[in-house]
Structure 1
Amino acid sequence: MRLQGKTALVTGSSGGIGRGIALRLAQEGADIVVAVHRHDDRADETAAAVQAAGRRAAVVAGDIGNVAQAFAVMDAAVRAMPGGIDILVNNAGVEVNAPFVAVTEADYDRVLDTNLKGPFFLTQRFVRQRLELGRGGKIINISSVHEELPFPHFTSYCASKGGLRMMMRNLAIELAASGITVNNIAPGAIETPINRRLMADAAKQQALLANIPLGRMGLPDDVAGVAAFLASADADYMTGATLFIDGGLLWNYAEQ
C-alpha cells in the first residue's frame, strides 16, 4: 500500500469524485478526513466505507468558501488526526448554468468562493501546518477540462478553474523548496450527480460521446487512481502539472 502511514483530507467527499478519491486513498493505506459542507448520512457512509477498508476516518463540516470556516475545517482535521494532514485534495466544487448576461453577483460569488477562494485558503492553512511540522506534503486540486476549454453559459465556472490552474502553477514553484508538491487533475465528462441531467438526455449524451475518442464517460475511479498516484511517492518529482482525465475529449471538442 503506497500511502501507509499517511493522512488525507478530501473536500466534497460525501459522493461523486470526492468519495471515489477518499475510498481509493484509503485502499492505498491512508487515513481519511471526510470534509463536507454539511454533516449528513452521505458523509457518514463515506466514513464507514473508509473504516471498512481498515483505515481511520473522521468527518468535518464547514463552508470552505468562507475563510474562517475553511481554516476551522483544517484545524478540526488536524485535531481528529494527530500527526497532521499529509495530503490535501481540493475536490469540492459547484457550477451555475446561465447566460453571461443573466449571471447574478450571488451566482458568481458562490462559484468563485467554493471553487477558488476555498481551495486558496484551505491550502494556505494546510501549508502552514506542514511548515510548522517541518515536513513536505501533497496538494491535489480537482480542476476540470474547463481550466483549458471554454464552456458557454458556465463562464464563472471556467474562470474559477482557470484561476485554480494558475494558483497551482504558482504554488508549485513557491512551495517546492519546502518539499510540497502541487498538481491538478482535470476531469472531463464523469458519471457523477453533477452530470445527472446530461446522462438522462440520450441525445445530448450521444453528442458528447461522439467527441470522446474512448467512447464513454469517465467514472470516479478513473480520477481516483490518478489521485492515488499523485499522493504517493511515485509522484515525488512531479509538481506544477495538470493531468487531463477526459478520454481524449480535448482533442477537438466543440460546444454544440
Structure 2
Amino acid sequence: MGEHFAELLAGQDVDVTLAARRVARLSELSAKIAAEGGQADVIEMDVADPESVEAALKGRVFDTVINNAGTTASLPALEHGPAEIDAIIDTNLKGAFHVAPYR
C-alpha cells in the first residue's frame, strides 16, 4: 500500500519521502517515480527504533505522513515469545508514534 500511495502522490506533483529499513527497494521505487516525472527522496530508518527515526527525520517536517510500516509473525498469537510480541508492537504500534511528531 505504501508504494501505491507514494506513486499516487508523486503523480500529483507532491514531493515524496520514502523511508524504511531496506533502502534498495526504496531506491528502485524512487527511480520509477523519477522516470514518471515525480520526486521521491529515500531515507533509511527503522520505525521501531526511536533513535533511528530521530536521526533520519530530525529537522524535517512533513505536511502528510503515511505510516505504512508493519510486521507480523506466522505463529498463533499465544505461541509468540516476548521478543516476537515486542517486535510486532514496536513496529506496528509504537512506530506510528515515533514518526508522528514529524508531520
Q: Common fold, TM-score beyond 0.5? A: yes
Asked whether the equivalents of residues 92 and 114 of structure 1 are also in contact (C-alpha less than 8 Å), the reply is yes
Q: Which residue of 2 aligns with 1:52?
A: 35
Q: Which residue of 2 aligns with 1:18?
A: 2
Q: Which residue of 1 aligns with 2:16?
A: 32
Query: Tell me, which stretches of 5 or more residues in structure 1 are unaligned?
Result: 1-16, 79-83, 128-256
Secondary structure of the corresponding residue to residue 90 of structure 1: coil
Q: Which residue of 2 aligns with 1:112?
A: 89
Cα deviations by residue, 1:48-83 (Å, 9 ceiling, x for unpaired): 12212322221100111011112222227x3xxxxx
Secondary structure of the corresponding residue to residue 23 of structure 2: coil
Larger Rg: 1
Percent identity over paired residues:
30
Tell me how far apart the structure 2 counterparts of residues 43 and 93 of structure 1 sit (CA, whole Å): 16
Higher RCO structure (Cα 8 Å, ≥6 apart): 2
Q: Which residue of 1 aligns with 2:55?
A: 72
Tell me how far apart the structure 1 counterparts of residues 45 and 38 of structure 2 sit (CA, whole Å): 23
**TM-score, reference length from structure 2:** 0.89
The CA RMSD measured in Å over matched residues stands at 1.6
Tell me how far apart the structure 1 counterparts of residues 40 and 76 of structure 2 sit (CA, whole Å): 41
Tell me how far apart the structure 2 counterparts of residues 101 and 43 of structure 1 sit (CA, whole Å): 34
Asked whether the equivalents of residues 18 and 91 of structure 1 are also in contact (C-alpha less than 8 Å), the reply is yes
Q: Which residue of 2 aligns with 1:253?
A: none
Query: Tell me, which stretches of 5 or more residues in structure 2 are unaligned?
Result: none
Larger strand percent: 1
**TM-score, reference length from structure 1:** 0.38
Asked whether the equivalents of residues 10 and 40 of structure 2 are also in contact (C-alpha less than 8 Å), the reply is no
Letter in 2 for 1:35: A
Corresponding pairs, count: 103
